[in-house]
Structure 1
Amino acid sequence: MNDWSWDCNPSQEYITDGLPPGVVAEVERLVTELAALGNEAPKVGRPIDREGGLREFDILGGRGFISFLAAPRRECVYIRDITWYG
């Protein structure tokens, strides 16, 4: 178990505005799992040739993706954007 958490930056209202509730629930589930990875979170998603920095991870079978930043110093995964193709 680790002490990592997740948050939205900017606010959750801004990032999730207009998205279906099911998409928001799936994103929250995935980000909870990313936070559970702890120090391995900066290695998940794209780009695959390096770790750290802004990352992308597909959601719901490629119908969208999340952009996130895993910050080891703060032990937090920050959701930066959700792109939903519908």
Structure 2
Amino acid sequence: MTDWSWDYNPSAEYITDGLPPGVVAEVERLATELAALGRDAVKVGRPLDREGGLREFDLLGGRGFISFLAVPRHECVYVCNVTWYG
């Protein structure tokens, strides 16, 4: 377990507006899991050939994805976008 946290960037309202409640719950569950990884969160998801930067992780079996930044300096994972295909 790490001391990392997660947050929405720019805000929860901006990113989750219009998403079904179950999708928001899954996004928050994944963000919690990513924060638990700590520094290793910079290696999770796409792109596969490098670490860091904006990363993507599939959501609910490929029905969407989240884009996130893992920032070691802040010890935080920032959820930056959610794309939901429904």
TM-score (norm 1): 0.99
1:79 match: 79
Amino acid paired to 2:45 = G
**Structure 1, residues 42-80: CA drift from partner, whole Å, max 9, x if none?**
000000000000000000000000000000000000000
Amino acid paired to 1:2 = T
User: Residue 65 of structure 2 aligns to a residue in which SS?
Assistant: strand
| Count of matched residue positions in the alignment of Structure 1 and Structure 2 | 86
Amino acid paired to 2:50 = R
Instruction: Note the C-alpha offset of 1:22.
Output: 0.1
Query: How many Å separate the matches in 2 of 1:15 and 1:73?
Result: 23
User: Residue 61 of structure 2 aligns to a residue in which SS?
Assistant: helix
After superposition, residues 34-53 of structure 1 pair within 5 angstroms as 34-53=34-53
User: Residue 45 of structure 2 aligns to a residue in which SS?
Assistant: coil
Query: How many Å separate the matches in 2 of 1:38 and 1:74?
Result: 11
1:9 match: 9
Segments ≥4 residues shifted beyond 4 Å: none
Query: Unaligned stretches of 5+ in structure 2?
Result: none
Instruction: Note the C-alpha offset of 1:2.
Output: 1.2
